[in-house]
Amino acid sequence: MDLRHLRSFVALAEERHFGRAAERLHLAQPALSQQVKQLEREFGVQLVSRTTRRVELTEAGLRFAEHARTVLASVERAATDMSLFASGHTGRVSVGFIGTATYDLLPQATREVRRLLPEVRLEVHGESLSPALLDGLLDGTYDLVVLRPDGIVRPELDLRVLRTERLIAVLPDWHDLADRESIDLSELSRDPFVMHFSGHRSSMHEHVLAACAAAGFRPASIMEVGETATLVVFVAAGLGVALVPEAVRSLDLEGVDYVLIDNAPTIDLAIATRAGESSAAVRQVADIVVRCSS
């Protein structure tokens, strides 16, 4: 059975006239008649009752017309879906965000993806650490990730720096320095620090230690946490002070003040996908994240 024959029969069923149906299909009338006869031979039933003026559908013809419409509608939906898939306007995309990008970039990018690509099924994961995000990208858990690019040189990845962020201090709102517009980092040398995990579990830990070392001290006491939100909550609870990228200001938690640091150290934020990514939807979502980060 040829799709052209289905389209021809539906046109005939709607026009109930060989001449008008043939004109609508841009076919010669004998060719249309031959197509209908071929269908009748294939099914072994009469589909139309021909008269000199009008064509009537038999009971079999009425049933087949409904089948033909259903098939043609499915074909059209499939063609539309594949066109959307090829252009990146449909599909599934799993995105992972580092904790410090969860509070400003994640909601903004998610809103834009849903506005511009409503047929894309977006799976969003926030509050992750860079090493876990990298592992998840490589094993297929994520299609793209936003992370700290420190020392990542992998030929199987495409990495783009999104922005450079300065570090700011997070202080309990009762801290002596909380009402200052800016401070020198060395002024926190006597305070306990709350930091992200050490070792290879988080890149932020080493950035904070390096900043403190450049200011001439090492924190005497360090409490480690896994999530940025937890870090800020612990500061609000008076368990220490912290350094975070400025975007964490978006986490407007009662009990803390964000204070600028003089000559603040900076860190990069990047987006990574697998090299040669073939999914148009992944590329579309990545482009939206890039635009939202600027």
Domains and CATH numbers, the chain: 3-87 (1.10.10.10), 91-163+269-293 (3.40.190.10), 165-267 (3.40.190.10)
DSSP 165-234: EEEEEEEETTSTTTT-SEE-GGGGTTS-EEEE--TTS-SHHHHHHHHHHHTT---S-EEEES-HHHHHHH
CA distance 76 to 67: 14
Place of tokens 């909550």: 233
Contact between residue 264 and residue 168 where contact means Cβ atoms under 8 Å apart:
yes
The Cα 4–Cα 252 span in angstroms is 62
- What per-residue string of b and e applies to 250-275 under the rule 16 or more CB within 10 Å gives b? ebeeeebbbbebeebbebebbbbbbe
Per DSSP, what are the bridge partners of residue 98? 128
Other CB atoms within a 10 A radius of the CB of residue 168 amount to 21
Q: pLDDT by residue (tens digit) across 68-115?
A: 888 877 777 777 667 666 666 667 889 999 888 888 899 999 999 999
pLDDT at position 270 is: 94
H-helix segments, the chain: 3-15, 18-25, 29-43, 59-87, 105-116, 130-138, 204-214, 228-236, 280-293
Asked if 58 and 39 touch (Cβ cutoff 8 Å), the reply is no
Asked whether 71 and 100 are in contact (CB, 8 A), the reply is no
Residue with tokens 């506005």: 115
d(CA 15, CA 269): 62
Distance CA 74, CA 72 (A): 5
- From first to last of the 294 residues of the chain, give the pLDDT tens digit: 788 888 888 888 888 888 888 888 888 888 888 888 888 888 888 888 876 677 888 888 888 888 888 887 777 777 766 766 666 666 788 999 988 888 889 999 999 999 998 888 888 988 888 888 888 888 888 999 999 888 777 888 899 999 999 999 999 999 999 999 999 999 999 999 999 988 777 788 989 999 999 999 999 899 999 889 999 999 999 999 999 999 899 888 899 999 999 999 999 999 999 988 878 888 889 999 999 987
Assign 148 to helix, strand or coil.
coil
Cα(129)–Cα(284) distance, integer angstroms:
24
For position 74, what pLDDT does the model report?
Answer: 78
Nearest-10 crossing angle of helices 59-87, 280-293? 40
Among 168, 155, 163, 129, smallest CA distance to 249 is for 168
Q: What is the dihedral sign for C-alpha 155, 157, 160, 166?
A: negative
pTM as predicted: 0.68
Residue 84: predicted pLDDT:
61
- According to the model, what pLDDT value does residue 81 have? 65
